[in-house]
Amino acid sequence: MWRRVASLSSFLSSYSTSFVAQTASRLNTWESLTTRIAQQANGFIAPKEKTPFITFVLGGPGSGKGTQCIKIVETFGFTHLSAGDLLRREIDSNSADGAMILNKIKEGKIVPSQLTVKLIQKGMESSDNDKFLIDGFPRTEENRVSFEQIIGIEPNVVLFFDCPEEEMVKRLLNRNQGRVDDNLETIKTRLKVFEALSLPVINYYSQRGKLYTIRARGTEDEIFEQVRPIFTAFEACHVSTMILSIHLLSPKMVALLQARPHTIPWILHFHCSSKSKKNRNQKQLQRRQFQHHKKPALPFPRSSPTPLVIRHKPLIQTKVDALDSVVKDLEASVKNGMVIDSEIYSSLLETCYQLKSIDHGIAIHSLVPPNLLRKSTGISSKLLRLYAASGRMESAHQVFDEMSRRNESAFPWNSLISGYAELGQYEDALALYFQMEEEGVEPDRFTFPRVLKACAGIGLIHVGQAVHRDVVRKGFGNDGYVLNALVDMYSKCGDIVKARQVFDNIACKDTISWNSMLTGYIRHGLSVEALQVFRGMIQEGFDPDPVAISTILSSFWSLKIAAQIHGWVLRRGIEWNTSVVNALIAVYSSLGKLGGASWLFHRMPERDVVSWNSIISGHGKHPEALLYFEQMMKSGTSPDSITFVAILSACAHLGSVKDGERLFRLMRNKYMIDPRMEHYACMINLYGRAGLIDEAFNFIVERMEIEAGPTVWGALLYACSIHGNIEIGEIAGQKLFELEPDNRHNFELLMKIHTNAGRWEDVERVRQMMVDRGL
Ligand SMILES: Nc1ncnc2c1ncn2[C@@H]1O[C@H](COP(=O)(O)OP(=O)(O)OP(=O)(O)O)[C@@H](O)[C@H]1O
Ligand SMILES: Nc1ccn([C@@H]2O[C@H](COP(=O)(O)O)[C@@H](O)[C@H]2O)c(=O)n1
Query: Which tens digit of pLDDT belongs to each residue from 453-483?
Result: 999 999 989 999 999 999 999 999 999 999 9
Q: DSSP per residue over 91-135, as a string?
A: HHTT-TTHHHHHHHHHHT-PPPHHHHHHHHHHHHHT-S-SEEEEE
Q: What is the CA radius of gyration of the chain?
A: 32
109 is in an annotated binding site: yes
Q: Which ligand is nearest to the CA of 192?
A: 2
d(CA 637, CA 607): 9
Atom of ligand 1 nearest to the CA of 216: 1
Ligand 1 proximal residues by C-beta, below 6 Å: 59, 61-67, 84, 136, 171, 175, 219-220, 223
65 is in an annotated binding site: yes
Atom of ligand 1 nearest to the CA of 68: 18
66 is in an annotated binding site: yes
419 is in an annotated binding site: no
**Mean predicted confidence (pLDDT) in 34-49:** 32
Which among 13-17, 42-46, 78-82 has the top mean pLDDT?
78-82
| Amino acid making up residue 12 | L
Ligand 2 proximal residues by C-beta, below 6 Å: 61, 83-84, 87, 104-105, 108-111, 116, 136-137, 139, 143, 181, 190
pLDDT digits (tens, 9 = 90+) for 111-124: 999 999 999 999 99
370 is in an annotated binding site: no
What is the per-residue pLDDT for 329?
Answer: 84
Q: Which ligand is nearest to the CA of 182?
A: 1
d(CA 647, CA 640): 11
Q: Which ligand is nearest to the CA of 86?
A: 2
| Angle at 38 (CA atoms; ends 33, 41), nearest 5 degrees | 135
Q: Which ligand is nearest to the CA of 186?
A: 2
Q: How far is the CA of 168 from the centre of ligand 1 (A)?
A: 8
**Mean predicted confidence (pLDDT) in 23-41:** 28
pLDDT digits (tens, 9 = 90+) for 279-318: 444 444 333 333 333 332 222 223 332 222 223 333 445 7
67 is in an annotated binding site: yes
What is the per-residue pLDDT for 206?
Answer: 85
What is the per-residue pLDDT for 128?
Answer: 87
Backbone angles phi, psi at 417, to 5 degrees: -60, -45
Q: How far is the CA of 83 from the centre of ligand 2 (A)?
A: 6
pLDDT digits (tens, 9 = 90+) for 215-266: 999 999 999 999 988 887 676 544 223 222 222 233 333 344 334 433 333 3
The residue whose CA has the least distance to atom 8 of ligand 1 is: 64
pLDDT digits (tens, 9 = 90+) for 390-423: 999 999 999 999 999 999 999 999 999 999 999 9
Is the pLDDT confidence value at 529 over 90?
A: yes
- Identify which has the larger pLDDT, 52 or 168: 168
3-state helix, strand, coil in the chain (%, to 5): 70, 5, 30
What is the per-residue pLDDT for 237?
Answer: 43
CB contact set of 327 (below 8 Å; sequence gap of 6+): 348, 360, 363, 364
Atom of ligand 1 nearest to the CA of 84: 27
615 closest CA partner among 635, 634, 633, 595: 595
Q: How far is the CA of 78 from the centre of ligand 2 (A)?
A: 21
Q: How far is CA 5 from the centre of its chain?
A: 41
Ligand 2 probe mutation, 65, 86, 87, most atoms within 8 A of CB: 87
The Cβ-side half-sphere exposure at 489, using a 13 Å CA radius, reads 26
Is the pLDDT confidence value at 389 over 60?
A: yes
Ligand 1 probe mutation, 57, 63, 67, 106, most atoms within 8 A of CB: 67
- Identify which has the larger pLDDT, 320 or 700: 700
Q: Is the ipTM of this complex over 0.95?
A: yes
Is the pLDDT confidence value at 557 over 50?
A: yes
Atom of ligand 1 nearest to the CA of 171: 12
Atom of ligand 1 nearest to the CA of 136: 25
Q: How far is the CA of 224 from the centre of ligand 2 (A)?
A: 23
Is the pLDDT confidence value at 2 over 50?
A: no
Among the listed ranges 1-15, 277-291, 392-406, 686-700, which one has the minimum average pLDDT value? 1-15
Ligand 2 probe mutation, 172, 181, 183, 185, most atoms within 8 A of CB: 181
Q: How far is the CA of 174 from the centre of ligand 1 (A)?
A: 9
What is the per-residue pLDDT for 339?
Answer: 86
Position 209 confidence tier, pLDDT thresholds 50, 70, 90: confident
Global confidence as pTM: 0.50
